[in-house]
Structure 1
Amino acid sequence: MDNKTNRVDPKLLELLVCPLTKGRLSWNAEAGELVSERAKLAYPVRDGIPIMLVSEARELKD
């Protein structure tokens, strides 16, 4: 996975929220995902575009 194409603009990150909880997201650069701690979901970023669909999110394990 190329991290250059999977970066998220910091200004965009400030605006995005989890579609499920409306809570803040954090950027996991290693996995190239936006993480919602409250929902325990990780949303993928493909070609620099956050995929903010619950159906596309990966469930986080404890």
Structure 2
Amino acid sequence: MALEAALLDILACPACHAPLKEQGDELLCTGDDCGLAYPVRDGIPVLLIDEARRPA
């Protein structure tokens, strides 16, 4: 998955509003207390808190 840099610059975690970073086929929250991982399906980020998971 390769999101455009401009898109990644404006996306934020819906839970804590921290920036997101790409890792594999997920977007990871960079917030210290949050750390949710949001899936990317067919190139589209799914930024729903109910769809996020806590990384191991």
Question: What's the TM-score, normalizing by structure 1?
Answer: 0.77
- Between structure 1 and structure 2, the one with the greater Rg is 1
* Pair 1:37 & 2:24 matched: no
Q: Give the % identical residues.
A: 41
Give the unaligned 5+ runs of structure 2. Answer: none
Which position in structure 1 is the counterpart of 2:8? Answer: 13
Q: Which amino acid aligns with 2:4?
A: D
Following TM superposition, the consecutive aligned residue runs of length 4 or more in structure 1 with deviations greater than 2 angstroms are none
Root-mean-square deviation over aligned CA pairs? 1.1
Of residues 38, 46, 54 in structure 1, which corresponds to 2:41?
46
